[in-house]
A = this chain, B = another copy of it.
């Protein structure tokens, strides 16, 4: 059994020894460097542009402006292409723009022989702007007299659904109806490796883009679309990547890199953002404002959830309305036996563009729902955990939105387990009726999430397996290792099904769209769920071919044989070794009459989705006068189905919890409401929590077996980030009686709320 163990990560040695090569580790002779000329105004139009001085600088090769780029409006969101026109991403940008829509927008680009010269030259490009009023907030952007950021107006899209019955009726049947307004901030991914890409041409036809991307195959398409060239001419290579979290599920630099190499006759041109650019001019998490109502009866029955959410996508749509759309839909799996009404609207504003970020709308939606759930529990006087256990999904429930049966749901057990781990019942009593400056509180919050994007998007994955002469197997995937450990989990799956040792699976970690099987990449916590069936199918096919060749070699029927421990063995008596796998391989390759190279090349579409679940328990203390929160204990308990690699799963949960603590207590991109200027566009002022700030992170799993999944597993990539923020909010409420309905819950914010509540 290879699945369920924790072997050494496939990339562990490469990474800890510094041998792993990232995009910036590759150099090419004659490489040129490009730097954007960025707008210093938040909204406006270029009146004049003068590049003479820049061009005169020695080492400057070219300057291109919005006048030089293709007249093609394209979309950057990293989604698979959709056959449904309505479902295609919003195309709202060109490679460079005359109409600048945020402080940092791109009007021109300089190409020089070295990066410092490019930077200096970019400063020497003189641009005059006509300034327009700047809309930063929801209110400003949606005001009836707001300046139009894009021709179609500032609303991108809105939608709503009402499922499981009629909301008004449900609320009228409720004993209590609670209501709250919630706000979530603009935060940044802060992956270690900034956005970087370079492109070159091998001839006059083919463009190669090497990029730190989560989505090489999607990137290929978008480069083709942005430049108006056949996709087959574009090749995208993804080396090791230093984090993405969704920010590299957007095609930010690659079309420009490709454009520049075409302009520079195929010379390699590199585009590397610095941290400041990366914080402002890539993608952020959508900030939201929402109103949530929850109705319940005194006996603890949740009757209805009503959530109305407004989402700010910033200057360009990017993932746009897909974020609240997905966030809303995925939450329905959590409480499926009641009415859910959900309305959402997404608008433009003159702030950095928001895109995909870990959990894709769910943290925003769940912050509102799980805060309101807490308020409802308190209103009916029921224990928060009990109230949730009463109402969360159970196996065989039917999701009222998708109409699909929920086949595995361990959320009840997660709540029970977490409650026990944190000592909920004893602490609850202990923390009752606190006074004094420092008060302790307990909080809980749940979440549900999906495994992939089906049925909203196509779910396609590919796997190619090659049996080597030494009995080892090379595995090619289109799915991308982005630090989450997917190569390792995939190798375990292949080893499991093939019957060979994990060490014998060599994963081709670099994706190259010319040769890697098609897969849309790392996002939506899709990979382990949707790639697994492709791996399983490929492994079964290769196994069948291997046993078929054994039959040719031995004349014995293949039916009685299987592969175990890298050996062909008698199915019923595995100790009876027929042949070593290497012997079979050597014969298949080199026998003059029979055999051939044994490979399996599989493409698979997943037509199911599986909800994953979990919850966060928090024990914290609030120093009320200091408006400071200290987390004493925080536990995430997950139902992600079967755990493929327990150690990596734990690491994944820790990472998500750390990021969640950042979003809950520390992080926000502070944008000047008048100018659109980002005040803290650097890692000194944008305060992500450090090791000192992060509490000890605990996690546990409830292993269900998801029947639609190849190895019984479900998503775990994004989920750990979803529930900590509302659990922290609920614990602060528990400690202080004050509902802080906005993140981040910094001392400044707490001061405002505590003052209003009169506790300081």
Contact = CB atoms under 8 A, between A and B. Distances in A.
Given A13-B203, A21-B202, A515-B474, A607 B591 contact: no
Interface stretch (A37-45, A374-382, A409-417, A464-472): A464-472
A19 interface: yes
Contacts of A597: 460, 462, 517-518, 603
Interface size class of A (residues with CB under 8 A): 35 or more
A508 B20 CA distance: 25
A557 interface: no
A207 to B, nearest CB: 12
Nearest to A30: B25
A596 B533 CA distance: 13
Contact of A596 (B11, B83, B204, B604): B604
Nearest to A80: B590
A25 B267 CA distance: 13
Contact of A266 (B19, B596, B604): B19
Contact of A458 (B224, B506, B591): B591
B596 A17 contact: no
A525 interface: no
A224 B471 CA distance: 14
Interface of A is mostly: loop
A328 interface: no
Contacts of A469: 81, 221, 231-232
A701 to B, nearest CB: 29
A514 B596 CA distance: 16
B232 A506 contact: yes
Given A458-B590, A472-B230, A601 B464 contact: yes
A599 interface: yes
B518 A515 contact: no
A166 to B, nearest CB: 31
Contact of A593 (B21, B231, B607): B607
A64 interface: no
A464 B83 CA distance: 27
A455 B591 CA distance: 11
A458 B587 CA distance: 11
Contacts of A468: 230-232
Given A19-B201, A601-B599, A82 B231 contact: no
Given A232-B470, A470-B230, A506-B232, A607 B586 contact: no
A68 interface: no
A104 B392 CA distance: 79
A465 B94 CA distance: 34
A607 B14 CA distance: 43
Interface string A450-486: 0000110111101010101110111010000000000
A21 B462 CA distance: 30
Contacts of A205: 13
Interface string A592-629: 11111111110111010000000000000000000000
A66 interface: no
A454 B508 contact: no
A567 to B, nearest CB: 16
A603 B592 contact: no
A458 B474 CA distance: 23
A751 interface: no
A206 interface: yes
A589 interface: yes
A651 to B, nearest CB: 19
A597 B478 CA distance: 11
A29 interface: yes
A26 to B, nearest CB: 8
Nearest to A453: B592
A587 to B, nearest CB: 7
B595 A605 contact: yes
A633 to B, nearest CB: 38
A27 interface: yes
Contacts of A459: 592
A605 B593 contact: yes
Given A27-B29, A586-B81, A204 B592 contact: no
Given A458-B592, A460-B597, A517-B597, 19 more contacts: A14-B202, A19-B266, A81-B586, A83-B587, A224-B470, A230-B468, A231-B469, A231-B470, A232-B469, A232-B474, A232-B506, A455-B592, A462-B597, A464-B515, A506-B514, A508-B515, A594-B605, A598-B603, A599-B603
22 contacts: A17-B204, A19-B201, A19-B202, A19-B203, A27-B27, A81-B469, A81-B589, A83-B591, A206-B506, A230-B468, A230-B472, A231-B468, A231-B469, A458-B589, A458-B592, A460-B590, A508-B514, A592-B607, A593-B605, A595-B605, A596-B603, A599-B603
